[in-house]
Amino acid sequence: MATNNAPSHSGGLSTGGSVAIGIVVGFVILSLLVMAVWFVQKKTKKDKGSRGGYAAPSPFTSSHNSGTLFLRPQSPANFVGSGSGSDFVYSPSEPGGVSSSRSWFTYEELIQATDGFSAQNLLGEGGFGCVYKGLLIDGREVAVKQLKVGGGQGEREFRAEVEIISRVHHRHLVSLVGYCISEHQRLLVYDYVPNNTLHYHLHGENRPVLDWSTRVKVAAGAARGIAYLHEDCHPRIIHRDIKSSNILLDLNYEARVSDFGLAKLALDSNTHVTTRVMGTFGYMAPEYATSGKLTEKSDVYSFGVVLLELITGRKPVDASQPIGDESLVEWVSHVFPSTLLSLLSIIYRIFSLLKGTFMYCKTTKSCFHHLKILKT
């Protein structure tokens, strides 16, 4: 059985039978717990009666002021999100002193908050720009994402994030605090989540040890956040870049899914949306990477890879591994005994019968479907 100790580094796991059994049993337990949480959540929502989905218009309008284009809240209006454990009420405030409820900032204010975007405040760098820790004049800690200038990619990401994140508030999603467009500068201001990323805790040097209960807690929290995007947002939202480095942890190790720069709105009338392939190697569903067909299953596959990371402690792609085992999914397919694969198939069949748990009971199968391992 899997123990409560954190898994060793990538090279610490052998491919022996006992290790394989431990990995599979741990994966099954984690999957079952996530599915159980999801089932209870859906049942509770059903008992409370019909819920009101939201299709709030974007609560922002643009205006010009001193050469800077701000996105300013419409007035007066409240926008309420659907209830999935996190009702969102948007209450715009008038321009004035910086406060925690403000939704726009001047470029000068963000320069001051980040100490001139100093290297000491750099939290990380992604495909579209850098993220800096900032401190607003009211004492609130924030994360400021400075998008790369030049080209249309950064601007498209900014506009997509403003439109999407302005509507989405959930305890397991990183909230947008504010934003600014100033000439060629485009910045997004998020809540600061202080305990680094799941990727750091699994793969970083001198990382804190995650025990088993914490791993389950992180998996369940991330699952709730993704489910909210898929089921409680109208139009529904597909993240498109679910990975361990986009799952932030607070001081209580509650997971918060971040980085909606790659997210797209999928219209309910479409079975899939074909668009430019974006994401991270090792996490992308095979059919998405090859065809660009985008559905919620793309996120489900990526989340399944995150579950494998939680169980094995291995990176999704590790060039230091032997040839053929660089991919985590491929490696797992080699170490799983066929008898335990039959067990996974049985579990899939059982839980696929439970209404409301379809997305998560299908995680295991969707992760390995292209490898032709699981048959139903």
Give the C-alpha distances (Å, rounded to integers) separating 235 from 53, 176, 224, 232, 268: 10, 19, 18, 9, 6
Given a contact cutoff of 8 angstroms between Cβ atoms, the answer to whether 283 and 241 are in contact is yes
Task: Using alpha carbons, select from 169, 299, 278 the residue that is nearest to residue 230.
Answer: 299
Task: Using alpha carbons, select from 116, 124, 121 the residue that is nearest to residue 141.
Answer: 121
Cα(41)–Cα(14) distance, rounded to whole angstroms?
37
How far does CA 116 lie from the centroid of its chain? 29
Amino acid letter, residue 156: R
* Catalytic annotation present for 47: no
Two tokens at 13? Answer: 């796991």
CA atoms within 13 A on the CB side of 183: 4
Task: Using alpha carbons, select from 183, 199, 145 the residue that is nearest to residue 10.
Answer: 199
145 is in an annotated binding site: yes
Residue 81 sits at φ, ψ, to 5 deg, of: -85, 170
Cα(272)–Cα(3) distance, rounded to whole angstroms?
40
Given a contact cutoff of 8 angstroms between Cβ atoms, the answer to whether 166 and 233 are in contact is no
| Cβ-proximal residues to 204 (8 Å cutoff; 6+ apart), any chain | 196
Residue 152: its H or E element: helix 152-165
Two tokens at 283? Answer: 């996490």
Give the C-alpha distances (Å, rounded to integers) separating 335 from 21, 91, 202: 9, 53, 21
- Catalytic residue, candidates 241, 259, 299, 325: 241
Given a contact cutoff of 8 angstroms between Cβ atoms, the answer to whether 351 and 38 are in contact is no
Which residues are documented as binding site? 145
Which residues are documented as binding site for ATP? 145
Q: Which residues are catalytic?
A: 241
